[in-house]
C-alpha cells in the first residue's frame, strides 16, 4: 500500500474575516474530496484570515497512481482564481516503510 500526501500554503484574496475565509476554504476542501475521492482538510493557519493550510492524502496500491492523483490535485488548487498557491509540500511512503 502506498500513502501520499500534499500540503498547501495558500494566500486568500480579498478576505477580511475568519467567516469570509471559511467561505473560500470549505468549498475548496469539498471540491477536492468530491473531484478526486481523497481525504482533505484545512490543516494550518486556522486563526489567520488571509492564509490557509490545506492537506490532502491518498492511498492506493500503486505509487504511480498516488503521484498522478497528487499532481492533479496540485494543478486543481493552483488553477483556482480566488486563491494564490504559495507552496506545496509532498510526501510518499509505503506502508511497510519504517
What global pTM score does this model have? 0.87
pLDDT score at 98: 62
Q: What is the largest CA-CA distance in the chain?
A: 45
* Mean pLDDT, range 69-83, rounded to an integer: 95
User: Whole-angstrom Cα distance, residue 78 to residue 11?
Assistant: 11
Q: What is the pLDDT of residues 1-59, one digit of tens each?
A: 999 999 999 999 888 888 888 989 999 999 999 999 999 999 987 788 899 999 999 99
Amino acid at each position: 500500500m502506498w500513502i501520499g500526501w500534499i500540503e498547501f500554503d495558500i494566500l486568500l484574496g480579498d478576505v477580511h474575516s475568519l467567516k469570509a475565509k471559511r467561505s473560500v476554504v470549505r468549498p475548496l476542501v469539498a471540491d477536492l474530496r468530491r473531484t478526486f475521492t481523497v481525504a482533505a482538510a484545512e490543516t494550518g493557519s486556522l486563526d489567520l484570515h488571509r492564509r490557509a493550510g490545506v492537506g490532502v492524502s491518498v492511498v492506493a496500491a500503486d505509487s504511480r497512481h498516488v503521484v498522478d492523483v497528487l499532481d492533479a490535485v496540485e494543478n486543481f488548487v493552483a488553477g483556482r482564481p480566488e486563491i494564490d498557491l504559495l507552496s506545496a509540500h509532498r510526501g510518499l511512503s509505503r506502508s511497510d516503510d519504517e
